[in-house]
Structure 1
Amino acid sequence: MADRGRGTFRGMRGGPASASRGRGPQPTMDKPKREAILDLSKYVQERIRVKFTGGREVTGVLKGFDQLLNLVLDEVEENIQTESGEHTRKLGLVVLRGPTITLLSPVDGWEEIANPFLAQDGA
């Protein structure tokens, strides 16, 4: 009675006897390793711009990332657009959650262009 529930396997479920009941070894399925959609390794230590769902936008130096697109940025500045103009706020070192990111681009070589799909005034 004192041994009840203390690791003795006398016909209990999950014990060594139940592991060999006609099932045998289970085949292992080798799944191909998932690769990230984006290769961000070439942007490590480079300044990037990130936009989020909800409209927030930050720029910073990419320090690290994972396969879920979670990012670690340093020297981060948040660009806040208000009715009175655009302001920046320094945030320092931050971790950005991948599922909230909608746009990611390098700052070098980035320039804003006019939207060609907006209705023209003269049309």
Structure 2
Amino acid sequence: MATKSIVIDLEKCIDKEVRVTFQGGREVRGVLKGFDQLVNIVLDDCVEEMHDPDDPYKKTDERRRLGLVVCRGLQVSLVSPVDGMEEIANPFIQQEEEVV
């Protein structure tokens, strides 16, 4: 019998800010208030980080306040704590520009 490996213990993230990425690329940040075994997630003070409509991989500075949100577990791709995360410059952008 295979044992389950827990990558992140969401119980430790209760009442802390997390980033949730959904299938399709949408991203939100909010305070984790609850979750279940299907990874249905409840976030408070939720804010969606908007992407450029012409380039879905490029983020804009625009944000959309959503408030209290229930995220359906089947659509959740990634849940990560915000503490300890830092956005860095893409090291491959220069190489892509040289190829084009």
Q: Shared fold by TM > 0.5? A: yes
Alignment of 1:78-97 (within 5 A): 78-82=48-52, 85-97=60-72
Residue 111 of structure 1, aligned match among 86, 91, 97: 86
Higher relative contact order (CA 8 A, sep 6+): 2
What is the root-mean-square deviation of aligned Cα atoms in Å? Answer: 2.5
Alignment: residue pair count: 90
* Cα separation, 1, equivalents of 2:43 and 2:71: 8
* Cα separation, 2, equivalents of 1:36 and 1:62: 21
Residue 73 of structure 1, aligned match among 43, 47, 52: 43
Alignment of 1:6-85 (within 5 A): 37=6, 38-82=8-52, 85=60
- State the 1:69 CA deviation: 0.7
Percent of aligned pairs with the same residue? 53
Select the structure of larger CA radius of gyration.
1
Whether the 8 Å contact between 1:35 and 1:67 is mirrored in structure 2 is no
Does residue 101 of structure 1 match 2:71? no
- State the 1:113 CA deviation: 2.7
Aligned AA (1:90): R
- State the 1:82 CA deviation: 1.8
SS of residue in 2 equivalent to 1:110: coil
Q: Could you list the runs of 5+ residues in structure 2 that have no partner in the other structure? A: 55-59
Aligned AA (1:104): V
Q: Which 4+ runs in 1 deviate beyond 2 A?
A: 34-38, 83-86, 113-123
Q: Could you list the runs of 5+ residues in structure 1 that have no partner in the other structure? A: 1-33
Whether the 8 Å contact between 1:36 and 1:67 is mirrored in structure 2 is no
TM value normalised by structure 1: 0.62
Higher helix share: 2
Aligned AA (1:56): R
- State the 1:114 CA deviation: 3.8
* Cα separation, 2, equivalents of 1:35 and 1:68: 14
- State the 1:83 CA deviation: 5.5
